[in-house]
Structure 1
């Protein structure tokens, strides 16, 4: 199977980490979403990454759907089978992905909008969402078990991406999350290799 994305994307990193946890090898194809929109749009009409192209040529998106597919392919390597474990893992993943969404919107506002047109109130609301999500993840951190699940992959991808795009934020505001990130990557060097980077 072929995974199309960017090395800097936290959503792509989540999928790449999930594939490694599942012991699946994906052919990774880096695409510049700005320079190659037609190639991406032919696979995903939304123009978003990641996209997984199955062995039959079927494009699958977004990261949550791709991870669920990987879990099914491997007989539930990412998602616990108990109702409580499943709900806890998916909720943790949703919180981490929600923080990614909010922080990406803040980043895009700064990167792509001229300074005189930036909406500071809107950015403040997005940052507040991200901060509430990080607070929640911090409070529930001890609920993560030792065996990596989709929750671990989502949190590691988020925190690895924050290290790249919001350097020092986790260390300053959520040192427990920063410590967890470092311990997790030290214990899982293969996953560290696919954390977001330029």
Structure 2
């Protein structure tokens, strides 16, 4: 399988963490691909018409995107535990997964806006408000996070918090959510997390 990949993308990191957790990293051939919002990549568009990563090319030549679908595919292929099959555990995992993805969506839009020549102050304030609200919710759910088996929800939330560290270091989110910060540091010690930390270059 070929994975169109970048060391900076938090969505790619989701897939790579899942691959490490599931023991399938060695089945992925990484293809370095640039996915810039203002410059669609023709080579990448041949795999994903939206010119977005991650994109996975299967051994039969068919393709899958985005991180949500790819993570679930790898989990199913490996008969893994990242997506509980039924009951309250499934809906809680998917709920945290959706929250983490929503945080990433907001963070990337926030970053794009702040890099504009004339950023919209009200829009940046709205993104910050949403992220702070998500942090407050997660702070109130730390015990549930810590007690639940590791799933796609945990994985995605770690990616979102790690992306704040990577792109919004001045946000100082740990001061707003100290118990969440302790949980995050515990999660960050997992081999899969250490192996996938975002890097420049």
TM beyond 0.5: yes
Q: Paired residue for 1:172, among 147, 172, 175?
A: 175
* Alpha-carbon distance between aligned partners in 2 of 1:196 and 1:137, rounded to the nearest angstrom: 23
3-state SS, counterpart of residue 133 of structure 1: helix
Alignment of structure 1 residues 85-96 onto 2, 5 Å: 85-96=89-100
Alignment of structure 1 residues 174-193 onto 2, 5 Å: 174-186=177-189, 188-193=190-195
Q: Report the CA distance between 1:189 and its aligned residue.
A: 2.4
1:157·1:196 contact (CA, 8 Å) conserved in 2? no
Q: Report the CA distance between 1:79 and its aligned residue.
A: 1.1
Q: Report the CA distance between 1:146 and its aligned residue.
A: 6.0
| 1:130 correspondence with 2:134 | no
> Which residue does the alignment assign to 1:77?
81
RMSD of aligned Cα (Å): 1.8
Structure 1: state its 5+ residue gaps: none
Task: Write the deviation string for residues 112-164 of structure 1: whole angstroms up to 9, x where unpaired.
Answer: x212xx21112222222222222222222221246421112101111222111
Task: Write the deviation string for residues 43-102 of structure 1: whole angstroms up to 9, x where unpaired.
Answer: 111111111111112221111111111121122421112321110001001101111111
1:4·1:28 contact (CA, 8 Å) conserved in 2? yes
Structure 2: state its 5+ residue gaps: none
2:57·2:63 contact (CA, 8 Å) conserved in 1? yes
1:21·1:149 contact (CA, 8 Å) conserved in 2? no
